[in-house]
Structure 1
Amino acid sequence: MADFIQRRVTMVDTQVRPSDVTKFPVLDAMLTVPREVYAPDAARDVAYADGPIPLGDGRQVLDPRATAKLLQALEPRPSDLVLELGASTGYTTALLAHMAEAVVAIEEDEDLARDAEAALSEQGVDNAALVQGALTDGSPKHGPFDAIAIFGGVEQIPDALTEQLKEGGHIGAIFMEGALGEARIGVKAGGRITWRMAFNATAPILPGFARAPSFAF
């Protein structure tokens, strides 16, 4: 039987800490939440490898390094209500739930949403609600939110989502420009989002977050 606890420790020691992730709440979450439980059966044995977990149809679970660095940059607090867009398998939902007071996680793929909800329930994650629906809708009825987490690629973020963020709240995502990308953190002040670059990263663009094609005449 695989020693997943030791693999989790090794992941943190060899992938997360060397990537300048030093904040205890992030390290504690990465050491506590069982990544293998939220991986498809065929990928459980490689859940702690240095890379993303492919899910098909252009979806993936981010690699441990990018996941931890985005968590650290976003800085969810124990009192925060967090909106997650693109819950996929529920792994990042569980990490956020470990750090924040409550999480509302949106997943539009019906199969992923069902499996994520089952895994979260099995693990006793009772401060996270999984909502199946379009990612770009968010969940206005549960907001406004202290933080919005997007563990995936975007080219643009609709105003309808940033309107669900509280004044002073944080939002994090991986912005893609072609094959290149960078994680950015935005802070809402005066009703506007001011972005800063956090670190280099790439991820497939999530459904609904591609920039609309422009036409030249």
Structure 2
Amino acid sequence: MRQDDDGCMQRLLDEIRDEVRDTRELTGRPVLDPRVLEALRGVPRHMFVPDDLQASAYVNHPLPIGHGQTISQPYIVALMSDLIQPRAGDVVLEVGTGSGYQAAILARLVKQVYSLEIIEELAAQARVRLQRLGCDNVEVCAGNGRFGWPEHAPYDSIMVTAAAPRIPPALIEQLKAGGILVMPVGSRYLGQELLVLQKDALGGLAERRVLPVAFVPLTGAAAE
């Protein structure tokens, strides 16, 4: 990380802690797992932000990355990372690679990350960034995330970083028993909520809606 970014990163982490505290009644999380915050500290966000937005790299807001997509607000990145309850030996599927920032965070928390991005140019750019950071435990593929990545299923957790009216059935099928899926559900115009879904040992599903969010829509045709 660039030396002049150290102070900006510390301020960002302090803001995230404040927002976590302020939203604790909605999220059920008064504090985040320290591992999640350390993962954020270790990933230089400016590497995932366009050149003309470098001055805003450590601001706690989403930023455009081209192709109508965004890099998520750091607070939301931290919260979603915490909600999947990551363990060092986990294998995680991410739908919506975008800039690769969320995948870089997850790479510091779990054993393996498989990340799908429907826009080929973004997938290629993210792959280069992640390689530069030494994220050897992340594999990025250009593809339709609605279908998941069955070759590597089942997953200990699945994170979707784009919104849809409902969770794609293929993702539920690819979630391991006991696993957790986190995804924004709803539409940009009618409102979205961050949803946490957990699959029990018998395949039963329990869901909890956490807080209002605003994500870009999940694109790509759904399975018939």
Asked if these proteins are the same fold (TM beyond 0.5), I'd say yes
Aligned residues of 2:163 and 2:215 also touching (Cα < 8 A): yes
The counterpart of 2:215, out of the listed 203, 209, 217, is 203
Equivalent residue letter for 2:108:
H
Deviation digits for residues 93-129 of structure 1 (CA, Å, limit 9, x no counterpart): 0001111111001111111001100000000001111
Match of 1:7 in 2: 8
Per the TM alignment, residue 57 of structure 1 is displaced from its structure 2 partner at its CA by 3.5
The counterpart of 2:87, out of the listed 77, 85, 90, is 77
Unaligned runs of 5+ in 2: 21-30
Equivalent residue letter for 2:191:
L
Equivalent residue letter for 2:219:
P
Match of 1:98 in 2: 108
Structure 2 residue 150 is matched with structure 1 residue 140: yes
Determine the C-alpha separation between the residues in 2 that align with 1:193 and 1:208.
25
Determine the C-alpha separation between the residues in 2 that align with 1:125 and 1:4.
21
Look up the SS of the partner of 2:163 in the other structure. strand
Determine the C-alpha separation between the residues in 1 that align with 2:33 and 2:77.
13
Look up the SS of the partner of 1:154 in the other structure. coil
- Give the stretch that moved more between structures: 53-62 or 82-91: 53-62
- Identity of counterpart residues, as a percentage? 31
Equivalent residue letter for 1:194:
A
Match of 1:42 in 2: 52
Counterparts of 1:59-208 in structure 2, within 5 Å, are 59-177=69-187, 178-189=189-200, 190-208=202-220
Instruction: Please tell me the root mean square deviation across aligned C-alpha atoms, in Å.
Output: 1.9
- Count of residue pairs the alignment pairs up: 210
Equivalent residue letter for 2:79:
K
Equivalent residue letter for 2:18:
P
Per the TM alignment, residue 175 of structure 1 is displaced from its structure 2 partner at its CA by 1.4
Aligned residues of 1:176 and 1:182 also touching (Cα < 8 A): yes
Per the TM alignment, residue 200 of structure 1 is displaced from its structure 2 partner at its CA by 2.4
Equivalent residue letter for 1:10:
R
Q: TM-score normalised to the size of structure 1?
A: 0.90
Determine the C-alpha separation between the residues in 1 that align with 2:180 and 2:57.
29
Change (3 A) 1:209 1:79: farther
Unaligned runs of 5+ in 1: 213-217
